[in-house]
Structure 1
Amino acid sequence: MVQLLGLSGALRKGSTNRMLLRNAARVFGECTYDEADLNMPLYNGDLEDGDGIPAPVMLLVEQIRAADAVIISTPEYNKMLSGVLKNALDWVSRVKPQPWVGKPVALMSAAAGRAGGERAQASLVAAMAPFQPQLVLGPDIAVAGSRKEFDETGRLISERYEKNLSLLMSKLRDAI
């Protein structure tokens, strides 16, 4: 069974980025899906030097290592990926060997604005590049006006997003 891990750049339980990840896992097909908890302390070199890598970070590292593929969805905060997601990436960067190397990873976003988080995705690609994952790019999934794009059960409404998400998840499955 394929192990799929989701990382949401939004901490809110009802965030549209969490909904988007769950839709991605659904259209991915048969898999075991887990969602990582990115609620962890801010990166601080003094904390690392004094106490080592915090337990929530080590849990995330182990989840990434165990996953066959990772899906990441970020909101757009001030034209960038979220601080929550960047902080998690910064912490994971401190662990050797790197769990991201060669790992198939698909990126997506959901945001309130008209662009749906396209700029956040571009900054996420730049943030991921040093880790050398196998980024699976395109079709772009940037859900604009995201609060209106999911029904009351959290399912995507738009056939266009659903179709493109299915194509992206098919490419991710092929990359495994």
Structure 2
Amino acid sequence: MTLHILALVGSLRSGSHNRQLAETAVRLAPEGVEIEVYEGLAEVPFYNEDIDVEGIAPAAATRLREATRRADAVLLFSPEYNGTIPAVLKNAIDWLSRPFGSGDLKGKPVAVIGTAFGQYGGVWAQDEARKAAGIAGGVVLDDVTLSVPGSVTRFAETHPADDPEVTTKLSEVLAGLSARVAAHTAA
């Protein structure tokens, strides 16, 4: 059986280091694990309960929910914007949290990793993403983490896939996440 992990990237920038990190995760996925980097977060409107009506919810939000429903786990890649979680990632969590108590994150393993320019690699934003995902019903894996500092300089001329320290740590994260997801789905 193949484990399917949905990756949501909290940066919309085409050259995003978090996007590059997610693409590297796809390449490093352990045997029996498929990681899908979700396309389309930019099209998901800001959450508004008035438009979240069964049968007429925005198509982009419905696609996000369906992709999450099909996944065995969710892996969030979060940069840090002004000391906190990017709006696009928070918005995705908001859509996935509804209807409250039975949204598509409910009971689903969630891990949060990322890279940011600061010296701590975006830990504040990643902590906020863990908090929001947990409140939304996800089973947050607090011990599956990776925060890569100094992204702007570290990845100025090196892709994350070509950084041995990053690929080693990312491989460890993916192995840990995969083991936890396998245990979760077997339970």
Same-fold call, TM cutoff 0.5: yes
Larger deviation, residues 110-119 vs 145-154: 145-154
- Which residue of the partner structure matches residue 75 of structure 1? 79
Tell me the TM-score normalized by structure 2.
0.82
Name the structure 1 match of 2:90: 86
Kindly state the Cα deviation for residue 76 of structure 1 after the two structures are TM-superposed: 0.5
1:121 offset after TM fit, Å? 0.7
One-letter identity of the residue aligned with 1:155: P
Give the distance between the partners of 1:70 and 1:157, measured in 2 at CA: 24
Aligned to 1:61: 65
Q: CA RMSD in A?
A: 2.3
Alignment size in residue pairs: 176
Consecutive unaligned residues of structure 2, counting only runs of 5 or more, are 182-187
Is 1:130 the counterpart of 2:135? The answer is yes
Please, which moves more after superposition, 60-69 or 139-148?
Answer: 139-148
Asked if the contact 1:101/1:134 (under 8 Å) is kept, the reply is: yes
The alpha-carbon deviation at position 32 of structure 1 amounts to: 3.0
1:26 match: 27
1:41-62 deviations in whole A, cap 9, x for unaligned? 1122333369842111111111
Please say if 1:140 is aligned against 2:142.
Answer: no
**What's the secondary structure of 1:3's corresponding residue?**
strand
Aligned mates of 1:138, 1:48 — CA distance in 2:
33
Match of 1:101 among 100, 106, 117: 106
2:168 matched residue in structure 1:
163
**What is the CA–CA distance in structure 2 between the aligned matches of 1:109 and 1:155, rounded to whole Å?**
11
Does the CA-based 8 Å contact 1:43-1:90 persist in structure 2?
yes
Report deviation, 1:151: 7.4
Partner residue, 2:122: 117
User: Residue type matched to 1:101 in 2?
Assistant: K
Identity among equivalent positions (%) equals 35
Distance in 1, matches of 2:164 and 2:158, equals: 16
Which residue of the partner structure matches residue 185 of structure 2? Answer: none
Q: Which residue of 1 aligns with 2:37?
A: 35
Provide the TM-score with structure 1 as the length reference: 0.87
What's the secondary structure of 1:29's corresponding residue?
coil
- The separation in 2 between residues aligned to 1:8 and 1:119, in whole angstroms, is 16
Counterpart of 2:18, as a letter, is: N
For structure 1, the 5+ residue unaligned runs are: none
Deviates more, 1:93-102 or 1:64-73: 93-102
**Equivalent-residue separation in structure 2 for 1:63 and 1:167 (angstroms):** 25
